[in-house]
Structure 1
């Protein structure tokens, strides 16, 4: 069976999509997975990772995303990560339908995962519901509970969690990290794991970042579905 996988991050803006991608990239690199990232970002969010994986900009809103489909025929890649813009669910729906995404990934022997970080906001739940409605059983789903925003996910637990389980989805956790820590790592322009060894940061801070990374990795590797759906098998 093919292990090639397209991972599409979706969800609200500023909910942690790029953070999760960075953490996932480092896990994929340790596994030796040949990975490419397509990003909507023009502000250098992934600059620290440009020496690790190819990162290419695309603009979904201007219908400039056809090159992504061409990559499905690239035998040198194992993983394609597409960082969709925050919100714009209707535009994403139109894009999926216009290129017959579900049929195309099957034709080229790939598998598809929707990766969505969530906060406590109802908008996240509405977005996830729409993604499930669009893709149904044509994709796998990984929800990331982002505790940076809120310690509880009552609405998700009550209304979505069971539905996600029925269609074979799974969930992982991203623990809270203070915004000052994010800013310090951004200033270093280094992958997160390298920040743990940068002596310009005090030891306490480096230790905190290390534990934050490690706990995310543990959340993934203890879940067999997450390992498979994120291309880490």
Structure 2
């Protein structure tokens, strides 16, 4: 199986003037203590019209809806600021990669037993330790188009900000805008966590080092993946 890169770009919020006035998004203490690593979510969709595998109009609508979603969920488009305290630069955008899966139908891929092939549908290798001095994005998306027109959305999520609750709300909003149903948008509350568990300045590096040891020790890491 071969996955060819068609294009790469930074997808930015659709209304930059809206987010320019936003203050930096403060981490809560637990965000500070979370190592920089990416968790994956891969969503598969079949093409209902097999006679027309051209997905170009859909990809354009997808990018437009995602840009609108990033205006609402603006921290997802930012970068971790200095001293591990907050996310800013909300107009930085998320890496968006479009790929083509060569000579493989979605139905064929889903029958494969080699789970490591899933990594080909992600722009970031999951669960590995990232360099803390790199200005890493919070979210990345790789869209992979199969020969039949089936499609896979490979989301790479920085666990420093995104958990199950936030990604569920984000994807619900993205889906609503993609369907043309803005009334179903889920409005986020970004201030609550840092209010209840304010960050520490300076960042508690000794505890962060301990957390990195627990996260990335081979035995514990393998147990986490098996779960």
Fold shared, TM-score > 0.5 on shorter chain? no
* Higher relative contact order structure (alpha carbons within 8 Å, sequence separation ≥ 6): 2
Higher helix share: 1
Rg larger in 1 or in 2?
2
Q: TM-score under structure 1 normalisation?
A: 0.28
Higher strand share: 2
Q: TM-score under structure 2 normalisation?
A: 0.29
